[in-house]
Amino acid sequence: MNILEISDLHFSYGNGPVLSGISFRIGEGESVGLVGANGAGKSTLLKLVCGLLRPSEGSISVAGVPVRKDTLNQVRRDLGYVFQDADNQLFTSTVYDDVAFAPRNYGLSASETQEAVERALKAVRIEALKDRPVYRLSGGEKKLASIATVLSTSSRLLLMDEPSVALDPRNRRNLIDIVNSLPCAKMIASHDLDFIYDTCPRTILLSEGRVVFDGDTASVLRDRTLLEAHGLELPLSFSRMP
């Protein structure tokens, strides 16, 4: 079964189209990279998928449920959105409370919540930070904590917006390992093409609101002509290759 189905999606903020005729599917457990120049529509697409924006045309369904105003609660239980700025995602005072926020809101009992939190923290390897105040976290720790906040409700589809921004090399490598270990489906929007190469076997290239490529990551990231035509460059991993 497909966890995400998008069909002929159109969206505009009012001053010209941002997305035009977007269609693709993501299967259970699949990892898909979303790349494109600034203004290509990556973040907009992620927000449409989780119902933060409404399309002007077309349809989106998550786990077979169409994304509409009346189905948002149901859809969002299967989704997790990791914001670019972790401070927007971590709004309680401790890591535990932030990770427990969603389970508590969905009515889980105290013991179920504790179990869900511990499972999520274990998945991102930050069990030791459970009681740490959020303002005491480093940038890398905040990123992992923000991922944990969406894993605690057993999300089947993880949407990540620029996850490797402002991470040092070690934290970035750690994040790649953790993302690869997560069994859920993922759609990762990023300018870090090397990160996409390391985490997503499939990549969708957006340009001026349209899908111009949807296929094998290595193929698109080796294609200098295609990348440069759409405002991108060869990633470092490929630019040094003969």
Partner 1 sequence: MHMADALVSPVVAGIMYACSAVAVVLSIRGMRSGEEDRERSIPLMGVMGAFVFAAQMINFAIPGTGSSGHLCGGMLLSALLGPCAGFLTMTAILLVQCLLFADGGLMALGCNVWNMGFYGCFVGGFLIWRAFTDRKMTRGRIIAASVVGCVVSLLLGAFSVTLETLASGITELPFAVFVRFMLPIHLVIGLVEGLITAAVLVFILEARPGLLQGAGGPAEGGRRMKFASVLAVLAAVTLVVGGLMSHLASSDPDGLEWSVEKVTGAPEIESDGPEWAAGVQERTALLPDYAFRDSERGTSFSGIAGALAVLVLCFAVGMAFRKPAGRKIETSGAD
Partner 2 sequence: MEEEARGDGRLQTLHPLAKFFVTIIYLVLLLSFHKYDVAGVLLMGAYPVLLFTLGGIPLRPMWRRMCVILVPVCLVGIANPFFDRTPLMPGVTGGMVSMVTLLLKGLFAVAAAYLLMVTTTMDDLCRSLRKLRVPAILVTVIMLVHRYLIVFLKEVDRMRTAYKMRAPGQKGVHFRFWGPMVGMLLLRSMDRSEAVYQSMSLRGFRGEFPSDKDGSLSRSDILYITICILSFLIIRFL
Tell me if 44 contacts partner 2 by CB under 8 A: no
Cα–Cα distance list, 9 to 17, 85, 125, 232 (Å) = 11, 27, 37, 24
Whether 194 contacts 235, CB under 8 Å = yes
Nearer to partner 2, 109 or 239 (CB): 109
Residue 130 burial (C-beta neighbours within 10 Å; 0-12, 13-18, 19+): middle
Tell me if 135 contacts partner 2 by CB under 8 A: yes
How many other CB atoms sit within 10 Å of the CB of residue 8? 12
Residue 138: which of partner 2, partner 1, none does it interact with, CB under 5 to 8 A by kind? partner 1
Nearer to partner 2, 34 or 137 (CB): 137
Q: Give the C-alpha separation, 210 to 157, whole Å.
A: 22
Question: Bridge partners of 161?
Answer: 189
Tell me if 73 contacts partner 1 by CB under 8 A: no
Residues 6 or more apart from 64 whose CB is under 8 A from it? 1
Q: Which of 64, 135, 216, 218 binds partner 1 (CB under 8 A)?
A: 135
Q: How far is the CB of 70 from partner 1 (least distance, A)?
A: 13
* Residues within the interface to partner 1 (CB under 8 A): 91, 131-133, 135-139
* Residues within the interface to partner 2 (CB under 8 A): 47, 50, 52, 73, 76, 79-81, 83, 85, 87-89, 91-94, 97, 100-102, 104-106, 109-110, 113, 131, 133-135, 149-150, 153
